[in-house]
Amino acid sequence: MHVPAMLNEVIQLMRPKDGGVYLDGTLGYGGYSVALLEKTSPTGIVYAFDLDGSAIERASCRLAGYGNRFRPIHAGFHEASLFVDGPDIGGVDGIALDLGLSSTQIDDPERGFSFRFKGPLDMRFDTDSGLALMDVLRTIKARELERVLKDYGEERFSSRIAKAILEATKKRALSTTDDLAELITRVIPGRRGKIHPATRTFQALRILVNHELENLKAGLEALPLLLKTGGRMCVVSYHSLEDRLVKVCFREMARDSSRWRIVTPKPVRPTPEEARSNPRARSARLRSIEALAEC
Ligand SMILES: C[S@@+](CC[C@H](N)C(=O)[O-])C[C@H]1O[C@@H](n2cnc3c(N)ncnc32)[C@H](O)[C@@H]1O
């Protein structure tokens, strides 16, 4: 089961209130949505988005007791304005994004996210659309793959790994996650560190397959415009590239100091207790911005 990261800090910053309307852009197993619904009882509403249809199904079962106050939508947060920008809603009081993937996704071998299990080379959040990893690898150029491994995975051996992946793909010698993990282990030289040699490559490929940075950028541009005066957007990121996007975008917005205020001049980090008890939370960084005037 997925344990939500930085939940207390997010809820404290969002200040949910009864009667408010909130947007959970990354529903997952519903940890944030449950907390928002509890804090906004009895009339608050939560619109919750996820690209993963099975996450929507599972969380909808878990949250069925909240009835019509919980409104799950199978779509990306970057397209949320298409669903919640109507005059009937009139803006939202808070938005939360908890980026990346959930433990439920990583622990399901069939999704292909983990080098710990044998699974298909898929890695899509939304298994109903887009290209699975295998299809991406069939068409990507060596240079682009190398760039992805270097930028998204900070992989020192990006060139060597990219070459080996594309050679194996051509020979049809790569069909499962453990083929890929073995290949990476073979081509990376020297002694093994603390993390598995495939960690960085798997992370980079997941970011690529799901257009994570492009979606985040689109979400950062569109979502804040949905906020009512006093409404706050909170973003929890797990990767330095994501955090940089959030930081730069919030700073850019806050140049118009009559409309936006940065609530977290420095990113909020998990407490030592949370970092100890929830390893996923260790790299988390939380940033928040507040709408001072309606957009
Ligand atoms: C870290 S989990 C969220 C966990 C959630 N806060 C909880 O408490 O259970 C991230 C979720 O965001 C979803 N996701 C990733 N990118 C998305 C996007 N652009 N739009 C909507 N959902 C997305 C993933 O499918 C995953 O279920």
Q: Is the pLDDT of residue 70 over 70?
A: yes
- Mean pLDDT, residues 121-125 taken together: 98
71: β partners? 47
Residue 117 has pLDDT above 90, yes or no: yes
Cβ neighbors of 246 (< 8 A, separation 6 or more) are 216, 220, 235, 237, 287
Q: Rounded distance, CA 198 to CA 124, Å? A: 18
Query: Coil, helix or strand for 3?
Result: coil
188-229 pLDDT, tens per residue? 976 667 789 999 999 999 999 999 999 999 999 999 999 999
Q: Look at the chain and count its residues.
A: 295
What is the per-residue pLDDT across 238-259, written as a single tens digit (0 to 9) for each?
Answer: 999 999 999 999 999 999 999 9
Please tell me the number of Cα atoms within 13 Å of 133 on its side-chain side.
Answer: 29
The closest-lying atom of ligand 1 relative to the alpha carbon of residue 25 is: 21
Q: 7-104+212-291 architecture in CATH? A: 3-Layer(aba) Sandwich (3.40)
Residue ranges, comma separated, of all CATH 3.40.50.150 domains in the chain are 7-104+212-291
Phi and psi dihedrals of 198, rounded to 5?
-90, -5
**Gap between the Cα atoms of 71 and 46, Å rounded:** 6
Atom 8 of ligand 1: nearest residue by CA position: 31
Q: Quick one: average pLDDT of 45-57?
A: 98
| CB contact at 8 A, 274 and 10 | no
**Percent of the chain, pLDDT > 70?**
98
Closest ligand 1 atom to Cα of 78: 19
Q: How many A from CA of 76 to the centre of ligand 1?
A: 9
Query: How far does residue 101's CA lie from ligand 1's centre (Å)?
Result: 6
- Inform me whether the pLDDT recorded for 267 exceeds 90: yes
Q: Which of ligand 1's atoms lies nearest the C-alpha of 126?
A: 25
Whole-number Å distance, alpha carbon 29 to ligand 1 midpoint, is 9
Q: Where in the chain is the domain with CATH 1.10.150.170?
A: 127-209
pLDDT of residue 295: 61
Q: Could you report the per-residue pLDDT of 129-143, keeping only the tens digit for each?
A: 999 999 999 999 999
pLDDT of residue 88 exceeding 90: no
Atom number of ligand 1 nearest to Cα 216: 19
The span from the CA of 127 to the CA of 183, in Å, is 25
Fold assignment, 127-209: DNA polymerase; domain 1 (1.10.150)
The angle at the Cα of 187, spanning 181 to 189, to the nearest 5 degrees, equals 115
